[in-house]
Structure 1
Amino acid sequence: MNAIVMIKDGRRDFDFLHGDWRVAHRMLKRRGAHCEDWLEFEGTSCNRPLMGGLCNVEEADLPARHSQGVAFRTFDIARRTWSIYWVSSIDGMMGEPVHGRFENGEGRFYGVDLDDGRCVRVVFVWDQITASSARWTQAFSYDEGLTWETNWIMQFTRA
């Protein structure tokens, strides 16, 4: 008899995201400028596992912005951390990854990015995760991590 072995090292942390989603987006109109005005628009997302959940790929459609994107996530077994890469249809380039893990039901992933030519620190946060919803936020720090400005919020609802 074959027994199913459940591995609890973190490689299944993104299983909640598999499938099709409706996504409500909120983006700051201007980042790093003390702006409090937000753009709001709808989109969709489809996520599927690869290699038994060790990786996953998410295709996002943002029709209001006339763009699409792909998130590719891969799990480092030895470090028990995820790396998340983003490719935008705007430039077709794969950005620098963010790295992190889930703890106590929340995922935090840190890295560096460019914002209008400025080098910034970036954090992605996955939280409020249920069987039918989840939230992702992105924040930038322009002062080496002393303060953070949330500039993009995505509320996922299962389609």
Structure 2
Amino acid sequence: MSENDFNFLHGRWRVANRKLADIVGRGTEWVEFDAEAEARPLLGGAAIIDSFFADGWEGMTLRQYDPADDVWRIWWASTRAPGKLDPPLEGRFSGGHGVFFGDDVVGGHAVKVRFDWTPGDEPVWQQQFSYDGGENWETNWIMRFTRA
């Protein structure tokens, strides 16, 4: 693990999204939409920032590697929650797969959050929530990236 773990994400992307329409209410209806993203390294590669543009809203992610703790931290913000920076997730890559965990409050409910990254030429990101302390995980958002 190193500050180079997210190098696969540098550049411009088309993003195919599949997301639960209501992640707060834990719905069952999935929506699909396209987006564009662009990621670039900062701080000599020890950080990466990306911009995410979907129809009618945008988001941004900051990822920063902490060599002392040997973890990546990931923060998310979007125009859907103005002025709010989500609590960070922490994790690392092992065996070509990145797993990151954090805690948040969604719709008034405490949840554990998990991000899974599968790098490669067409990376895949998944978000999962657990409402039972991490025993069971429910996928609520999947992004598939292709180079723009």
Q: TM-score, length-normalised on structure 1?
A: 0.88
In structure 2, list runs of 5 or more residues that go unmatched: none
Superposed, which structure 2 residues align to 1:2-151 within 5 Å? 9-31=1-23, 35-63=27-55, 66-90=56-80, 91-127=82-118, 129-131=119-121, 133-151=122-140
Cα deviations across residues 106-125 of structure 1 (Å, max 9, x unaligned)? 00000011211111000000
Q: In 2, Cα distance between the equivalents of 1:31 and 1:98?
A: 18
Question: How many angstroms does 1:92 deviate by?
Answer: 2.8
Q: Give 1 or 2 for the bigger CA radius of gyration.
A: 1
Cα deviations across residues 101-155 of structure 1 (Å, max 9, x unaligned)? 000000000001121111100000001x223x10000000001111000000000
Identity of paired residues, percent? Answer: 41
| Root mean square deviation, CA, Å | 1.3
Question: How many angstroms does 1:36 deviate by?
Answer: 3.0
Q: Are the counterparts in 2 of residues 25 and 154 from structure 1 also a CA contact under 8 Å?
A: yes
In structure 1, list runs of 5 or more residues that go unmatched: 1-8
Q: TM-score, length-normalised on structure 2?
A: 0.94
